[in-house]
Amino acid sequence: MNPNPAILAENLVKRYPVFRGFRDLVRRPFERRTTTALDGLDLRVERGRAFCLLGPNGAGKTTLIKILATLVLPDGGRASVDGHDVERQPGPVKNAIGYAINDERSFYWRLTGRQNLEFFGALYGLRGPARDRKIDEVLRLTRLEAAADLRFNAYSTGMRQMLAFARALLADASILLVDEPTRSLDPQAADRIGSFLRGELVEGKGKTVFWATHDLAEAAEFAHEIAVIGRGRIRLQGTVASLTGEGRTSLRQVYEKAVGDPPVSR
Amino acid sequence: MSGGSRTTALLPGRLSAFLRRDFREALTYKFSFLSSFVGILLSSATFYFVAKLVPPGTPSLGPFGGDYFSFAVVGVAFSSLLGMFQEGLSAVIRSAQVSGTLEALLVTPTSIPTVLFGSSLYSLLLQVFRTLLHLGVALAFFGMTLGRVNGPGVLFVGVLTVLCFLGVGVLSASFILVYKTGNPFGWILGTVSGLLGGVVFPVALLPPWIRWVSSLLPVTYALDGMRKSLLASVGFAEILPDIAALAVFNIILLPASLLAFRLAVRKAKKDGTLSHF
């Protein structure tokens, strides 16, 4: 059993360069302007949990997920996944994670769902009968067996999101990173996704699901633990019961106090 | 279950997955190969008629066998191939940025160079096939004549040229990773090479004050060596200057391009713009 937490971030800092117009570049060519996305963020996520990262748009959720997925390098502090440093050990980190990218453009639209999974399966190091068995397994788990041989461009939005989970599960990784999985889904489809992530993946398969959302109801219903991020830092972290004082106050009030912005309701 | 228990696939398995993906996608575009074939036929016919204006035995064509049509076909066919090696890698990066698949590729445990090379492999192989088809069409239907082919010369010049242009391709891809568009390497080399690299007329026809620029272009040596090996029935010793020049380009370009690519990936990850377009 790996004694490391699934995810650990210590004093994590990320600043992005600000886009500058031509005139500004000519006037001040050596000036460097940045905007701060993460400002000394600390976070610890234990294994086998459905963990929701709640925060308004622009709070730093996607930046944190991309740092954990090795797609963005931090400017300060450190982060590790499964005990591996994201900056110095990107290879082991990629082996430890499945990243369910919430962008339907990340698939090949003219290929079928199965053909997409065959391709990404090979990139995850799967081949031959083992790859085919794994694809059948993830298609069964995501209930896409009947649609497996349809072209991706014929999938509904909900099916595309499920195929993103199927692709992330090909990795057989212990940690799943999920960025706003229910965005643009209807409430029933969103509930199915929530039940799938917590019921099938966390409770059924023992995985850690790190799940960024700005939907309070979704977090309250499906997360074991919640962290609220605002202006690049974790403002609160705990179970819903502990954060709300066993229901004496609402999650909405806790959230608003933490980030100072009204939440999105479903 | 830990990710470390995952089956490890060899590099050929991953590259063949890229090839299969692109072949399957190409099959869904039914007329692309047909239009490419028609393009080759039209290009060959154009130079066939232009060649009638150039009398056989023109002095500047002497080192290449003396026939303008054969000279032009080798130039056009191989410069298209080299253009693909030069532009193909940056084109796949740009395409993956725009289509949105780049992040999905880069979060897999497949290395970035493998993703880059694998993504362009199908286009590169297709262009090799088109080049052979171009030569085949010219030989079969338009009376192109080959000399006594210098096999080792074709092999040496071909391999060094491909490596050299892959180096330029990696430099272009590095630029696209950071700046997204406006690749100067491809533009400068592509445009200047078309005029000064001896693609459709011999470099010897250029005025001396500009001919020195040709000597800085790898395409000049690539086409000179390839034409002499295919058309002029020369021995290996006579193409050694071309081989030496291409080797020097490789010694400079390959390490420089790999370093540039590493720096470009790091900068794009630092700026958070790896998949931006």
- Reported as a single tens digit per residue, the pLDDT across B130-153 is 899 989 999 999 988 888 889 999
The pLDDT of residue B113 is 85
Q: Which of A34-38, A74-78, B94-98 has the lowest mean pLDDT?
A: B94-98
A182/B229: higher pLDDT: B229
Q: How far is CA B267 from CA A18, B231, B271, in A?
A: 15, 46, 6
The answer to whether residue B5 scores a pLDDT higher than 60 is no
B238/A30: higher pLDDT: B238
Q: How many residues would you count in chain A?
A: 266
Contact A95 B272 (CB under 8 A): no
Alpha carbon distance A231, B90 (integer Å): 36
Q: DSSP code of B217?
A: -
CATH class of A7-259: alpha beta
**Which residue on chain A is closest to B12 by alpha carbon?**
A122
The pLDDT of residue A265 is 45
B-facing residues of A in 31-60 (CB < 8 A) are 37
* Average pLDDT of the segment spanning B203-231: 93
Domain boundary assignment for chain B:
14-19+31-271
The pLDDT of residue B2 is 38
Alpha carbon distance A38, A14 (integer Å): 5
pLDDT in tens, A175-224: 999 988 887 778 887 888 888 889 988 999 899 999 998 889 888 988 99
The answer to whether residue A264 scores a pLDDT higher than 80 is no
The pLDDT of residue B8 is 44
The answer to whether residue A17 scores a pLDDT higher than 70 is yes
The answer to whether residue A144 scores a pLDDT higher than 60 is yes
* Average pLDDT of the segment spanning A58-86: 95
- Is residue A218 a contact partner of residue A266, using CB atoms and an 8 Å limit? yes
Q: How does residue B1 score in pLDDT terms, banded at 50, 70 and 90? A: very low
Q: Which of A19-33, A58-72, A130-144, A196-210 has the lowest mean pLDDT?
A: A19-33
Q: How does residue B105 score in pLDDT terms, banded at 50, 70 and 90? A: very high
Instruction: Identify which of B242, B206, B250 has the alpha carbon closest to the alpha carbon of residue B222.
Output: B242
pLDDT in tens, A119-139: 999 999 998 899 999 999 999
Q: How does residue A262 score in pLDDT terms, banded at 50, 70 and 90? A: low
Whether the CB of A16 is below 8 Å from some CB of chain B: the reply is yes
* Average pLDDT of the segment spanning B10-33: 86
Contact B272 A14 (CB under 8 A): yes
Q: DSSP code of B62?
A: G
Residue type for position A230: G
Residue A102 has phi, psi (to 5 degrees) of -90, 60
To the nearest whole angstrom, how far is the Cα of A250 from the nearest Cα of chain B? 36
Domain boundary assignment for chain A:
7-259
SS (H, E, C) B133-149: HHHHHHHHHCCCCCCCC
SS (H, E, C) chain A: CCCCCCEEEEEEEEEEECCCCHHHHHHCCCCCCEEEEEEEEEEEECCCCEEEEECCCCCCHHHHHHHHCCCCCCCEEEEEECCEECCCCHHHHHHHEEEECCCHHHCCCCCEHHHHHHHHHHHCCCCHHHHHHHHHHHHHHCCCHHHCCCEHHHCCHHHHHHHHHHHHHHCCCCEEEEECCCCCCCHHHHHHHHHHHHHHHHHHCCCEEEEEECEHHHHHHHCCEEEEEECCEEEEEECHHHHCCCCCCCHHHHHHHHHCCCCECC
Residue among B17, B269, B275 minimizing CB distance to A73:
B269
Contact A126 B6 (CB under 8 A): yes
Contact B104 A101 (CB under 8 A): yes
The answer to whether residue B26 scores a pLDDT higher than 80 is yes
Looking from the CA of B88 toward its CB, the CA atoms found within 13 Å total: 24
Residue type for position B88: G
Alpha carbon distance B237, A158 (integer Å): 66
Question: Please, what is the average pLDDT of chain A?
Answer: 90
The answer to whether residue A261 scores a pLDDT higher than 70 is no
